[in-house]
Amino acid sequence: MTRDLSSSLRQCFGRSSLRLAAVVALTALPIGHGFEVSVIGQAAQATVSAPTPAAAFQDKFITTSEGQRIHYLDWGTPGKRPFVMLHGINRSGHTFDHIAPLLQRDYHVIAMDLRGHGDSDWSSKAAYLAEDFARDLHALVEQLDLRDVVLTGNSMGGRVVQVYAGSHPERTGKVIVEDVGPERPEAVTRTLTQRIQGETDGWASEDDLLKSMRRGQTRVPEETHRNWIRYETRKLPNGRIIWKYDPNVTQGLGPVDLWTYIRKIKAPTLYMVGANSNLVPKDTQLQLKAALPNIEVVTIPDAGHYPHLDTPAVWLAVVKAFLAG
């Protein structure tokens, strides 16, 4: 652990009550490298270990009262505090495959496929608002009888956990929102819609898809991209490869205002903001702090919209420190 990194992280975290006296000197490590993070008191420490083996998960399903069959990855461990992870638009629960095994010892980790994504049913009515996803989440929580739930969500998943925590404070223990706020800028809607529309024809092969993912600058290791291709794609009758999500998820995009839900959140809440992202600007952060008495806002250095992918060791250290507090 380097003093320079520790000092720079302290500056980024400011005087937050997380008090990360020493957070990880592993920010530059590729995701595929093994690391182990432990929290001692209020100080997060990290040590390099052998590469973490892929822990076994179970594919499971619930069926909602609306008839939606919802898929989730169950990482165990029964009897531990439930930790439910929600992905962003056009991804699936497998986006957390590199993180979930590192939480499995202390939590019952569940990574859910939102409706219209992964192996969950598509909505016949193109019902893809954050509220629709939150209803499915509540069905899962109720059917598994989960209590004191830790909820974490990135991007669209972050919107869902904000809606859920405000709607069901009785089930929610702590909330972690990753690089998303109460509103969605129009530019984000436009970019997402264009990208999804451009992917409907798919790719000629898995190799072609991998090349497109590796084109340009990316901090995601190739093995992670290959994992996504393995679990998150399907082959069309004509042999082309497409992602496992409903192109109509764009029907759920558009103006968003979640302040009504946010003001009802009772659980301690962490907003994790990528330093290289502009989706949760400073003025929004100030509004969040004014609206929620039990809130932390932490900026993750050298991370964009996906801190759990860009800097997974820092993400894990901050999450464990927050949960230990």
pLDDT value of residue 25: 33
Share of the chain above pLDDT 70, in %: 83
Q: Where are the domains of the chain?
A: 58-188+247-310, 201-243
SS (H, E, C) the chain: CCHHHHHHHHHHHCCCCCCCCCCCCCCCCCCCCCEEEEEECCEEEEEECCCCCCCCCEEEEEECCCCCEEEEEECCCCCCEEEEEECCCCCCHHHHCCCHHHHCCCEEEEEECCCCECCCCCCCCCCCCHHHHHHHHHHHHHHCCCCCEEEEEECHHHHHHHHHHHHCCCCEEEEEEECCCCECCHHHHHHHHHHHHHCCCCECCHHHHHHHHHCCCCCCCHHHHHHHHHHHEEECCCCCEEECECHHHHHHCCCCECHHHHCCCCCCEEEEEECCCCCCCHHHHHHHHHHCCCEEEEEECCCCCCHHHHCHHHHHHHHHHHHHC
In the predicted structure, residue 102 carries a pLDDT above the cut 80: yes
How much is the pTM?
0.85
Give the mean pLDDT of 2-7: 36
Contact 88, 82 (CB under 8 A): no
Considering the domain 58-188+247-310 in this protein, what is its CATH number? 3.40.50.1820
pLDDT at 252: 85
What band does 55 get if pLDDT is binned at 50, 70 and 90?
low
Structure tokens given for 51: 């590469």
> What is the predicted pLDDT for the residue at 24?
34
- Comparing 51 with 133, the larger pLDDT belongs to 133
Q: What is the mean pLDDT of residues 75-101?
A: 94
Provide the token pair at 34.
Answer: 């093994």
Contact status, residue 183 vs residue 257, Cβ threshold 8 Å: yes
pLDDT value, residue 307 = 95
* Across 252-258, average pLDDT: 84
Mean of the pLDDT values across residues 233-237?
96
Give me the mean pLDDT over the 111-122 stretch: 98
Q: Using 50, 70 and 90 to split pLDDT, how confident is the model at 198?
A: confident
- Whether 22 shows a pLDDT value over 50: the answer reads no
Distance between CA atoms of residues 264 and 170, nearest Å: 11
Give the confidence band of 30 by pLDDT, cuts at 50, 70, 90.
Answer: very low
Of 9 and 92, the structure prediction assigns the larger pLDDT to: 92
pLDDT at 143: 98
**Contact at 8 Å (CB) between 262 and 235?**
no
Q: Of 39, 40, 46, 42, which Cα lies nearest the Cα of 5?
A: 46
Task: Grade residue 78 by pLDDT with cuts at 50, 70 and 90.
Answer: confident
Q: What proportion of the chain, given as a percentage, has pLDDT over 90?
A: 69
Lowest-confidence region among 11-15, 35-39, 123-127, 227-231 = 35-39
Q: Which of the four pLDDT bands, split at 50, 70 and 90, describes residue 6?
A: very low
Q: From CA 261, how far away is CA 266, in angstroms rounded?
A: 10
**Each residue's pLDDT tens digit, 169-195:** 999 999 999 999 998 877 778 888 888
